[in-house]
Structure 1
Amino acid sequence: MTPYKPTRAARRAPPSIARASAEIFRELAKRTKYVDPAIAERWPQLAGEKLARLCRPGRLTGRGPGRSLELYVANGAAAAAVDMERDGLIARLNSYLGPGSVARLSVIQTGRPSAGAEKVEEGPSDAELGAALASFRAAVRRRNGGK
């Protein structure tokens, strides 16, 4: 007769992929200021082409009716333009999300152009900057007696 050999305890089942991914997405959402993908995808239609170039949607905060939508704008001028269109934008959002879904817009200035922003002015090329710097160095050398 062979001696009794204890068996190992049964392994626990791995966590469900839904639970594991939910934790990852929750943390990612906190860091990236999560926006509902449906709103982001339809943003040009919801906001209109003019506003879509000036701002981008952020988090939809609050519960139930009367939530607040964060909007990210590049500067104060864009914030003022969005503010003037506030009522119409809230009406369009509520027609898409349901009556009374969005009550407020929180406009947040980021200091960076929004994703759809157009370039207003072209800057100098690298060659032009290099030539200007070379000219500046030469002028400084002449002024300092060739040093």
Structure 2
Amino acid sequence: MKRNTRPARMAPPAIGRAGAGVFAVLAKKTKYMDPSLAGHWPTLAGPRLAALSRPGRITGTGRVGRTLELHVPNGAAAAEVQMNIDTLVKSINAYLGPGSVTRIVVLQSGKRAAPPRENAPKPPKSEDDDSPLGSALASFRAAINKRGDGN
């Protein structure tokens, strides 16, 4: 007696892969962020500025020139990015095409742009580390580092 069975079903695609395509189309339609620009941001901005900023929405019409919004975590990062605006505009236009972006607006979002570097230099040990003040400072540093990792 022969039984008719159905073939095994294919597994569903990974949610990240399925969602990436949907979000890429949505981002292009709303002009919120060009996914290819975000993917190439570290090479376009350089490692220092890429760690401080992330690209956001591109606004404006092609006739007048468009504006790119950059999100930075704080005022110090905003100042650093602001000093390199001309270089960023040239780099972005070299990637997107001449005259694609004529202006960059820096917005402070309060969120960290990138995870901290693992190989950041540690502060030198002071001679007072064995004193009560040194041990209090060491515990304070440990608490701050623990809080920074748990964001």
Shorter-chain TM-score category?
A: 0.5 to 0.7
Structure 2 residue runs of 5 or longer lacking an equivalent are 1-21, 123-140, 145-151
After TM superposition, the runs of 4+ consecutive aligned structure 1 residues lying more than 2 A away are: 115-123
Label 1:67 to 1:47 Cα distance change in 2 as closer, same or farther (>3 A): same
How far apart, CA to CA, are the structure 2 residues paired with 1:58 and 1:70? Answer: 5
Corresponding residue for residue 50 of structure 2: 52
Identity over aligned pairs, percent:
49
State the Cα distance separating 1:105 from its structure 2 match.
0.5
Please provide the CA RMSD for this pair.
2.9
State the Cα distance separating 1:25 from its structure 2 match.
3.3
Larger radius of gyration: 1
Corresponding residue for residue 143 of structure 2: 124
Corresponding residue for residue 35 of structure 2: 37
Q: Deviations over 1:54-98 (max 9, x none)?
A: 000001111115100000000000000000000000000011111
Corresponding residue for residue 63 of structure 1: 61
How far apart, CA to CA, are the structure 2 residues paired with 1:81 and 1:95? Answer: 22
Counterpart amino acid of residue 85 in structure 2: R
How far apart, CA to CA, are the structure 1 residues paired with 2:110 and 2:68? Answer: 19
TM-score by length of 1: 0.59
How far apart, CA to CA, are the structure 1 residues paired with 2:58 and 2:82? Answer: 17
Structure 1 residue runs of 5 or longer lacking an equivalent are 1-20, 126-147
Moved more, 80-89 or 112-121: 112-121
Corresponding residue for residue 80 of structure 1: 79
Q: How many residues align?
A: 100
Residues 61, 69 of structure 1: 8 Å contact kept = yes
Corresponding residue for residue 128 of structure 1: none
TM-score by length of 2: 0.57
